[in-house]
A and B are shown apart, each in its own frame.
Chain A
Amino acid sequence: MAAIELRNIVKVFSDKRRGRDLLTLDNINLDIEANDFVCLLGPSGCGKSTLLNIIAGFEQATSGRTLVDGKQVERPGSDRGVVFQQPTLMPWLTAIDNIAFHLKLKGVAKAERNDRAMEFIDLVGLRGFEHHHPSEMSGGMNQRVGIARALLMNPSVILMDEPFAALDAQTKLEMQEELVAIWQKRRCTIVFVTHSVDEALVLGNKIVVMTRRPGRIREAVNFDLPRPRDITSPEFNDAKRHILSLIREESTRLAQAS
């Protein structure tokens, strides 16, 4: 059984003001195995974030079935950790309290919460900043807190919606390396949404290329280049060429259609 099973997912947004419906996801079928690092790659507006939100339980598919660990997804829950595009931390809580928020909701005592959270403070390299509020930290540090918060719940899958998009190039590279290291160390299933071909190839061992609206899966590419990946190696470039050609085909098809 796959960790995540998406069966015939269709999502239609009704645009009430203009009185028409917008087909956003058109019959998505995808199996994601446990411990996979899957990148959903596609242009803006292709519905990749919508697909992630459906797995998270934030949105309901118009039709189709979403199963996580064999269970139908109906609402958000702590079995699926989400890392948002913006860090989305509680601004009134310190880093450690943000990371331990899930435990607080479960009624775990303060001392134990702090013990458990410190492990994740260390994991994401924020020792010394545990008592800082989000407003006192940089965007990259806040996003680390966001990742630690998701990891602490020990979820079966982690869903990430372009979490590094707002970071500068150098911080982005560091965070990508750290994320891969964390994924290797903790063996978790990650679904990572991105519009960057390079990011998808640096991170994923499966890259799901989506088409422009309505979102369909163009091809799911397996990519098992050993890590750390050399982004100048011939293998990397071969894979990049293949994915770019898929995207280019798509653009040509659209150009001909119009």
Chain B
Amino acid sequence: MTSVTDTAPARPAFRLTRALQGGERLVVPALLIAGWEAFARSGMLPPALLPAPSAVLHALGDWVFGFDETTQTYSGHWLRDALASALRVFGGFALASLLGILAGVAIGWSRLFEKTLEPTLQMLRPIPPVSWIPLAIIWFGIADKPAIFLVFLGAFFPVLMNAIHGVKTVDHNLVRAGAMMGANGRQMLTDIVLPAALPSIFAGLRIAVGSAWMLTVTAEMVAVKSGLGYVLWDSYYFLRYDIVLAAMISIGLLGYLSDLGLKAIMARTLRWQQTTTVQGRAG
């Protein structure tokens, strides 16, 4: 019974932290924003170089809804810009997922593909996608294509690596069990190896969607004349730091939403996995 008295004093403190938990998360961001607002209004830096959060919000609002044209030519065009970027992300990401999973599963499953395909791909992998920009521009010109190409390069390798890993680490005994139940080569791949590798493949897709957003913005800064990245870079030339920050916030939000969407798909697909972490492999 001593153990009960020992732990008893800890309880109220525990309850207090739980009560605070909701508000606790907001404390640091709120302080940061308030400090930033106060500093920007103090006049120590010209407002053009450090816009206050309220100014950024104002710019973002006008960019989205176009109420007072503070963002000039961008006023009310946010949806168009966001859509342009999102379509590039989606295009490059979809292509990278498709080819990454196909190549990854082939390399993970077959010694032949591993020997013929993998060395080349692993040699291309360390080359930063950004260094392809000059070639991408001569090959594809200034339009959507070089951006999609860069997004593809950035998203392909995380998908590839995780798909290879997923297939290679499939429990050997599951394959034996499949053979025991009479699975042929194709069934072994589609009914056993692929589902078993899915958690790993999804991990790769989540890394890839983040890289995709990073690269579409990079590409838009140099190789395209539309999208959130283009607005960001263009506003920098006009010293509109409020729009620069509004663009950064937009990219962050959209990237976060893409990850949430992917997580939702993953949760549905891998529903069988969810209880594993809670209950463990009880005896």
Contact = CB atoms under 8 A, between A and B. Distances in A.
Interface string B258-283: 00000000000010111110010111
Contacts of B184: 105
Contact of B181 (A58, A78, A86): A78
B179 interface: yes
Contacts of A149: 181
Nearest to B188: A105
A153 interface: yes
B18 interface: no
Interface in A70-123: 75-78, 80-82, 84, 86, 88-93, 101-102, 104-106
A167 B283 CA distance: 6
Contact of B176 (A58, A101, A153): A58
Contacts of A81: 180
B273 A139 contact: no
A133 interface: yes
Interface in B176-192: 176-184, 187, 191-192
A168 B177 CA distance: 24
Nearest to B282: A138
A31 interface: no
B273 A101 contact: no
Given A91-B276, A105-B187, A136-B275, A56 B180 contact: yes
Given A104-B191, A136-B279, A139-B283, A84 B173 contact: yes
A133 B275 contact: yes
B176 A76 contact: yes
Interface string A124-151: 0000000001111011100000000100
A250 to B, nearest CB: 30
B173 A88 contact: yes
A173 interface: no
B182 A133 contact: no
Contacts of B276: 91, 135
B195 interface: yes
A84 B177 contact: yes
B87 interface: no
B69 interface: no
Contacts of B198: 92
Contacts of B173: 84, 86, 88
A105 B181 contact: yes
Given A92-B195, A149-B181, A153-B181, A135 B279 contact: yes
Contacts of A140: 283
Contact of B272 (A57, A84, A91, A168): A91
Nearest to B195: A92
A93 B191 CA distance: 10
Contacts of A22: none
Interface of B: 171, 173-174, 176-184, 187, 191-192, 195-196, 198, 270, 272-276, 279, 281-283
8 tightest A-B CB contacts, nearest first: A76-B179, A78-B182, A135-B276, A102-B181, A92-B272, A139-B283, A133-B272, A88-B173
Given A58-B179, A88-B174, A91-B272, 7 more contacts: A76-B176, A76-B180, A82-B176, A90-B177, A105-B181, A133-B275, A168-B283
17 contacts: A57-B179, A58-B176, A75-B179, A76-B180, A78-B182, A80-B180, A82-B180, A90-B177, A92-B198, A102-B182, A104-B191, A106-B182, A133-B272, A135-B274, A136-B275, A138-B282, A168-B283
